[in-house]
């Protein structure tokens, strides 16, 4: 007797997702890799529309260029696997900060040391995302962020135009002749 078969046979039956969806707003997760650990969790389904993002800009900065190269490859590969369209990936100019210090604390001004800090940047611009896709993608790439690398995210959200802006101010736009006759 194989242990894999016995664990599957001892599990209670899980109702189909269609039956659960009709009965309540919760449904069981039936696609877990470890079924014995997943049996108590439920996924809630809501009728709210998902947030839409026109553009998602991810700026990654760090001191090691090779680490940023590797992370850029990883982030682009993850976006392609999720079906996210990549607008462009570019490398903004690096920032170099230099400062000079004395070797000794109080004396010997002739003896100095110069330090330099270089910060390299990578920018990924993704377009036309839903809120759930953006959340999953950002959580995945943030969890795999290497040490010594920082990330900034800018989201451009699509929103419905308010009704008071949709209606024109005038019912009928004044023509050139009407404005000339009144003045």
Q: Mind listing the pLDDT tens digit for each residue in 54-93?
A: 999 999 999 999 999 999 999 999 999 999 999 999 999 9
| Pairing, β 26-28 against β 42-44 | antiparallel
Residues 62 and 21 reside in one and the same domain: no
Looking at residue 160, its pLDDT comes to 85
Flag whether 11 is in a domain.
Answer: no
* 152 falls within a domain: yes
Domain limits at 24? 16-45
32 assigned to some structural domain:
yes
| Neighbour count for residue 28 (Cβ, 10 Å) | 17
Give the tens place of pLDDT for each residue, 104-128.
888 888 889 999 999 999 999 999 9
Question: Does one domain contain both 62 and 107?
Answer: yes
Cα distance between the two ends of the chain: 99
> pLDDT confidence of 31, banded at 50, 70, 90?
very low
Prediction pTM value:
0.63
Residue 144 resides in a domain: yes
Is 174 inside a domain boundary?
no
In degrees, to the nearest 5, what angle opens at C-alpha 38 toward C-alphas 33 and 41?
Answer: 135
Q: pLDDT (tens digit, 9 = 90+) per residue, 8-28?
A: 333 444 444 444 444 444 444
Q: What is the pLDDT of residue 109?
A: 82
Q: Is residue 164 situated within a structural domain?
A: no
Specify whether 78 is located in the same domain as 138: yes
Residue 4 lies inside a defined structural domain of this protein: no
Number of structural domains the chain divides into: 2
Q: Of 32-36, 123-127, 130-134, which gets the smallest average pLDDT? A: 32-36
> Is 29 within the bounds of a domain?
yes
Q: Cα(133)–Cα(155) distance, rounded to whole angstroms? A: 13
The answer on 109 and 40 residing in a single domain is no
């Amino acid at each position: 007797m194989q242990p894999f078969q016995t664990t599957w046979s001892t599990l209670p039956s899980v109702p189909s997702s269609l039956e659960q969806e009709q009965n309540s707003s919760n449904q069981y997760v039936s696609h877990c890799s470890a079924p014995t650990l997943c049996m108590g969790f439920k996924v809630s389904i809501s009728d709210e529309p998902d947030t839409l993002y026109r553009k998602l800009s991810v700026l990654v900065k760090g001191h090691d260029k090779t680490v940023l190269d590797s992370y850029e490859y990883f982030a682009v590969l993850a976006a392609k696997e999720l079906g996210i369209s990549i607008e462009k990936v570019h490398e903004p100019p690096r920032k170099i900060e230099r400062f000079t210090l004395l070797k000794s604390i109080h004396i010997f001004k002739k003896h100095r040391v110069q330090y330099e800090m270089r910060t390299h940047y990578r920018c990924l611009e993704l377009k036309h995302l839903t809120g759930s896709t953006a959340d999953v993608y950002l959580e995945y790439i943030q969890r795999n962020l290497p040490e010594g690398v920082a990330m900034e995210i800018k989201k451009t959200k699509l929103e419905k135009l308010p009704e008071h802006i949709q209606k024109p101010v005038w019912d009928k736009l004044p023509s050139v002749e009407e404005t000339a006759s009144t003045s």
